[in-house]
Structure formats: structure tokens, C-alpha cells
Structure 1
Amino acid sequence: DNLHANDYDQKRVFLGPYQGRSPDLIPRLRGVLTNPNCEFGANFVAIHTLAQWSRCNVDGRRDINDSVSADIKLETETEDGGVGEDVPSSLPANMYHPRR
């Protein structure tokens, strides 16, 4: 999202929250890339609300161990969403892979 970027116009600073995205999107995403303001302090609200949105569930409940579960998932999840430990054989030798 290029929601709160101001690198195109340094006279404008976005100070609002990350909003307008349904939590229904979360299971379909692999990540969200955001482009913050150039001014460090001005990014707090937008980045904080983006983080809160990314941790919410459609039904409004949160898992007690959601951060731990996310770390474990990141460490063990394969490209197709399955769990595995092997490096894909089709990966070129010059491409980074965390398990290689």
C-alpha cells in the first residue's frame, strides 16, 4: 500500500490510521508492503494500526499465542503453505533460501 507515503511531496504528511482494508483479505495475503512517510515520527499511527490490522481475525477474536504461532509458521511453512524442511530442488544456486 502506498497509503501514507509522502516521498512525492515532502510538504504533505499523512498522520492517519491504516484503514479501509477488510480482515477478509488477511488469509489471502502473503504479506503487506507499506511505504511510510519520510519523517520517522509521523509513521507511528499508520504503522501501528497496520500491525494491529494484520493481527486481527475476521471474527474479532485473537489467539493468545498468535505471535508465537506466526513465528513458528514462518520458520516451517513452505511455498505452497505446507510444512516442510527441504530446500526446493528447482531453486537456482544463486538464489537465497533460509534453509540452505
Structure 2
Amino acid sequence: MSWLLLILSGFLETAWAVALEKSEGFSRPTPTVVFGVALLASMAGLGLALRDIPVGTGYAVWTGIGAVGTAIIGMVWLGESHNIMRITCLVLIVAGVVGLKVFH
């Protein structure tokens, strides 16, 4: 259950990061509210997951999911560059996150 909560919290980290960008410096109300709610839920989920998962592993997995998810959304929907080196780096992050879970 803790791992599922951690993964969900990682996806929420992606949500708040994208909402932060879309808020345009907190000048747009809806993305600003989405940012705040997703941030609180993501942090709460991380905190609960860390009851059973070591902090180093949990934090690395949480940030890895958030970073990769945010980068993918940036490349697919926000027009950010997507070349083979960027994609390779994202694959390496995913490999590291999977390795932390496997060797937990």
C-alpha cells in the first residue's frame, strides 16, 4: 500500500509542477488552486508512504516520478524539445527508480 501511495504522490508531483507553470506566476486562479491542492496531497502522500519506506528510497522515487512525468508532459503537450539524449536521460532516471524499488 505504501508503494502505491508513493507512486500516486509522484504523479501528483507532476500535476503540481505543470499547474505551477500554467499558473503564470500565480496570476491565474484555477491552475494556482490545482497547484496548491496537488502539492498538499503529494506531500501528504509522501509523508504517509515514508512510514514504511526508507526516506532515501522514498524521496528518490517520488522526485524521479515527478521529474520524468513533468518532462514527458513538457515534451508531449508543452512544446519542449524532445531529442534522443533527453529521452535517454529520462530512461536512465526510470531505470534508477526501478532499481531502488527492486533493491529495497
Please indicate, yes or no, whether the TM-score normalized by the shorter chain is above 0.5.
Answer: no
Bigger Rg, which one: 1
**TM-score, structure 1 as length reference:** 0.28
**TM-score, structure 2 as length reference:** 0.28
Q: Which has the higher contact order (CA 8 A, sep 6+)?
A: 2
